[in-house]
Amino acid sequence: MSEEIDLEELKRQTSHGDRLDSDADNDQQQALADAILTELERIDAGEEQKTVSIWDGPTAAYIRALDEHPDQRAEVGDALRRQLDIDGDEPVDRSELVRFALRLGFRQAAPDKFETLKESVQKHVTQDL
């Protein structure tokens, strides 16, 4: 019985509709990549800022409290670096802490979209080579 299920699943995955769904997903990923590249170019041209703001009391309180306890901020920063495979010996500053936390959250929540970001940044950096 499980062989029959596996064959049916294989048929479903390779059916015409699934290929179309995959093409639509690829088109959406490419649209996101193009939008990221456009925004990176706007930032480089000075048309947009690099800053991002959030309105969140508990997060603001947590970050400020970590500022008052640099040893604990260093622990959190080191943990974020490990999760993101980022090397570094210096303690993270406030901006890095927030940046790493956002990146880790995006990577865990939507790894395919995060990969699109990484690929877009690499393409942007190497465009003029």
15 exposed, middle or buried (CB, 10 Å; 0-12, 13-18, 19+)?
Answer: exposed
Global pTM?
A: 0.74
Query: What per-residue confidence (pLDDT) applies to 94?
Result: 94
* pLDDT tens figures, 74-121: 999 999 999 999 999 899 999 999 999 999 999 999 999 999 999 999
How does the average pLDDT of the chain come out, rounded?
A: 88
pLDDT at residue 129, as a whole number: 75
- Would you give the end-to-end CA distance of the chain in angstroms? 56
- Using DSSP's 3-state secondary structure scheme, residue 5 falls into helix
CA angle 39–48–62, rounded 5-degree value: 95
Share of the chain above pLDDT 70, in %: 83
Q: What is the 3-state secondary structure (H, E, C) of 76-99?
A: HHHHHHHHHCCCCCCCCCHHHHHH
pLDDT for position 2: 46
pLDDT at 62: 97
CB 97 within 8 A of CB 76: yes
In this prediction, residue 15 carries a pLDDT of 58
Residues 6+ apart with CB under 8 A from 98: 63
Give percent of the chain above pLDDT 90.
75
For the segment 2-26, the average pLDDT, to the nearest whole number, is 63
